[in-house]
Structures are given as structure tokens and as C-alpha cells.
Structure 1
Amino acid sequence: MVNDAVFRSALAWLAAMVLLVGLCTQSFKKMLVTYILGMFAISGVLLPDWEFFDRRFSQWRTPLTVDEKRTPRSVHTQATPTGFRIHPIRVAIYTIVYGFGFYKWWMFVST
């Protein structure tokens, strides 16, 4: 992981969300579902091996070679964390998966 502070901040926001859901719904089950889905969401964004996925989409089927790991990155790519680069396919997949998950969570919590 590039920055542990981002992970700690995400966990603190998740704890606040779980507490808010618990106060509003008075349901331990909804708190537990919120915590589990939040952990999956955080780990889906912050924990993957972004060096592997930052390659072209057609190369995802092949393993990452040692030479690809050793290639120096440009100054621009070092300034931004690798987990937050915008790639159209990644954004589309994350939008669909997280949008559906958030919708299902909201329908569960709001009932």
C-alpha cells in the first residue's frame, strides 16, 4: 500500500458510518452489514497490486515480469499514488460494481 494514512482515514470514516447507521436504525444486523461491505469496498480500492493493473488491459492476462517492475516511473507518475490513476476500464468496472453494491446496501439499510 502506498500510504497507510489513507487506509487509516478510510477505516475511521467507515467506523463513523457504522456508528451513524447504528444510531439511526437501532439495528446491530445493519451495522454489521455496513461494516462488512465497507471493508470490502475499502480493500477493493486500496489493497490491489496496482503495478500489475497499471499496464494496458490486454496485458493483464500475462504475469508481471521483473523488468516491468524495475522500470523507472516518470516524475509525474511518482507524484500521484498509483492506486488513484484514472483508467476508463477500471473506472467503468468500479462504477458498476460499487454503484450496485451501494444501491443494495441503501435498500437494506433504509427499510
Structure 2
Amino acid sequence: MADDAALRKSLVCLAAIMVVVGLYTYSLKKMMATYLFGMFAVAGIVLPDWEFFDRPVSQWTSPLSVPQMLPHSPPSPTRFRFYPIRTIIYTIIYGYAFYKWWMYISSA
């Protein structure tokens, strides 16, 4: 990963959320569920190889061709490109996971 600062910030936020959930629920199981949900969310958003996934969904099954670049060329200015299908897939998966996590945390 080129920028570890995003990963560090995500993990610090996850730790803060875990503390809040632990203080709110007094449940180690719910804290661990928060940890697992948060790690999957961080791993799904921050860690993927965006050069591979930053293509239309129909091209995800084909190998990534690496263009011939100069060794000291700067990275492209746009890290994320907007693809509606990818956005819909991520929204459905993370929306459902967040809903299930919230139902578990808010239950008695």
C-alpha cells in the first residue's frame, strides 16, 4: 500500500468505535463483532489493489496489463474512478453488513 496513513487512521477510528461499543453495551462479544466488521470494512475499502479494481467490472476477470512507465513517473492524479456497477455492488454489500451489525449491537 502506497499510503499507510489511511490504514493507520482507519484502524485508530475502528479502535475508538470498539471502545464506544464496549462502553455502551458492556459486551465483549459485541466488541469483537465490531472488530470483525470493521476489519472487513477496512480491508475491503483501504487495502485492495485499486489499479486492478479501478476498471469496469466486466474487466475484473482479465489480467491487468501494466503500461510501460518511466521509473520515476508520478502516480495518476485520480485514485478512484466512478463506476456505477462497482458503487452499487459496494453499497449493497456494505449496507447489508452495516445493517446486520447494527441490529446485533442494538439488540438486548
Q: Which category of TM-score, normalised to the shorter sequence, fits these structures?
A: 0.7 to 0.9
TM-score (norm 2): 0.85
Q: CA RMSD in A?
A: 1.8
Q: How does 1:1-40 map to 2 (within 5 A)?
A: 1-40=1-40
Q: Residue 44 and residue 13 in structure 1: after superposition, are their counterparts in 2 closer, same or farther (change >3 A)?
A: same
2:7–2:46 Cα contact (<8 Å) kept: yes
Question: Would you identify which runs of 4 or more consecutive aligned residues in structure 1 move more than 4 Å?
Answer: none
Deviation at 1:2, TM superposition (A): 3.1
More helix as a share of residues: 1
**Pairwise CA distance, 1:85:** 3.1
Deviation of the 1:71 alpha carbon: 5.5
The corresponding residue for 2:84 is 88
Which ranges in structure 1 are unaligned for 5 or more consecutive residues? none
Deviation at 1:26, TM superposition (A): 0.2
Distance (Å, rounded) in 1 between the aligned partners of 2:82 and 2:5: 21
Where does the alignment leave 5 or more consecutive residues of structure 2 unmatched? none
Cα distance in 1 between the residues matched to 2:60 and 2:105: 37
Corresponding position of 1:100 = 96
The alignment partner of 1:78 has SS state of: coil
Aligned positions, number: 103
In structure 2, C-alpha distance between the alignment counterparts of 1:104 and 1:79, rounded to whole Å: 36
Of 67, 72, 78 in structure 1, the residue corresponding to residue 76 of structure 2 is 78
Map of 2:57 onto structure 1: 57
Question: Normalised by the size of structure 1, how large is the TM-score?
Answer: 0.83
AA aligned to 1:78 is S
Q: Percent identity?
A: 55
Shift of 1:55: 2.2
1:66 Cα offset (Å): 3.4
AA aligned to 2:36 is I
